[in-house]
Chains A and B, each alone.
Chain A
Amino acid sequence: MTEGTTFTSTKIAQEMARVFGAQIKTFQVTLKDREAVQTYIRKYEDAHKNAAKSKLVFRG
Chain B
Amino acid sequence: MMDSHRRVEAGNVTVHPVSSPFSFFAYTDNQFGGCESIHRCCSLARSHGVQTVVEESIPAVGLIADENAEITEYEPDHTMVALKRVSFWTTPFASETEIANQSDEGFFGYAILKHDRVPAKGFDRWHVFEAVFRGYANAHNCTPCTRDHHIRVGPKEFRISGRLYAQQNGLNKICAHVAMRSLLAGRVPAGDLSYRAINKIVRESRGPDYRPAEGFGVEEIREILHRFSIPFRDIDYAVESKTTTDIRTTHPYRKFIYAGIESGCGSLLGFRMAGPKATEGAHIVPFFGHTFNKDTWVPDAEMAYFNIGGSLGYIPSDSWTGSFIGHDDNIGPNLCVPRLYVDPAHADYALELLPDGVQYGGAQAEGLGIHYLYSLLPSLSQSENPWVKRLAKAANPEVKRVVFRAVCLRKERYIQHLSENVDWAGNRENPKMLEVLQNHLPAQLWVVEASLPHLFPANLRKVGEILLDPEIPATDQPIKANKHFLMARLPGSWAVMKAGTQDQPDFLDSPSAITTHFPLLLL
* A contact set with B: CB distance below 8 Å: 2-13, 15-17, 19-20, 23-48, 50-60
Contacts and interface: CB of A to CB of B under 8 A. Distances in A.
18 contacts: A6-B481, A8-B484, A8-B486, A12-B436, A31-B504, A40-B312, A41-B360, A44-B364, A47-B240, A48-B233, A48-B234, A51-B236, A52-B219, A56-B236, A59-B214, A60-B273, A60-B280, A60-B282
Contacts of B308: 33, 36-37, 40
B37 to A, nearest CB: 15
B220 to A, nearest CB: 9
Interface string B501-515: 111111111110000
B374 interface: yes
B367 A47 contact: no
Interface of B: 174-176, 179, 213-219, 222, 232-236, 238-240, 244, 247, 250-251, 270, 273, 277, 280-284, 308-312, 348-349, 360-361, 363-364, 367-368, 370-372, 374-376, 379, 432-433, 436, 439-441, 469, 474-476, 479-487, 494, 496-511
A-B interface, 5 closest residue pairs, ranked by CB to CB distance from nearest:
A59-B215, A36-B309, A33-B310, A60-B283, A36-B310
A38 B433 CA distance: 31
Contacts of B484: 8
Nearest to A30: B504
Contacts of A23: 510-511
A2 B374 CA distance: 25
Given A52-B222, A60-B281, A25 B310 contact: no
B379 A27 contact: yes
Given A17-B508, A26-B508, A50-B236, A40 B367 contact: yes
Contacts of A37: 308-310, 312, 367-368, 370-371, 479
Contacts of B469: 8
Contact of B217 (A2, A20, A41, A57): A57
B374 A33 contact: yes
A36 to B, nearest CB: 3
Contacts of A15: 436, 439-440
B501 A5 contact: yes
A5 to B, nearest CB: 5
A26 B499 CA distance: 11
Nearest to B439: A15
Nearest to A7: B499
A38 to B, nearest CB: 5
Contacts, number: 254
Nearest to A21: B510
B280 A50 contact: no
A40 B314 CA distance: 14
Contacts of A29: 375-376, 379, 504-507
B474 A41 contact: yes
B310 A27 contact: no
A58 B216 contact: yes
B507 A56 contact: no
A56 B348 contact: yes
A47 B234 contact: yes
A44 B374 contact: no
A28 B505 CA distance: 6
A28 B475 contact: no
Contact of A5 (B349, B500, B508): B500
B235 A12 contact: no
A55 B217 CA distance: 7
Nearest to B255: A44
A16 B497 CA distance: 11
A7 to B, nearest CB: 8
Most buried by A among B432, B501, B510: B510
Contacts of A33: 308-312, 371, 374
Nearest to A33: B310
B165 to A, nearest CB: 17
A33 B187 CA distance: 38
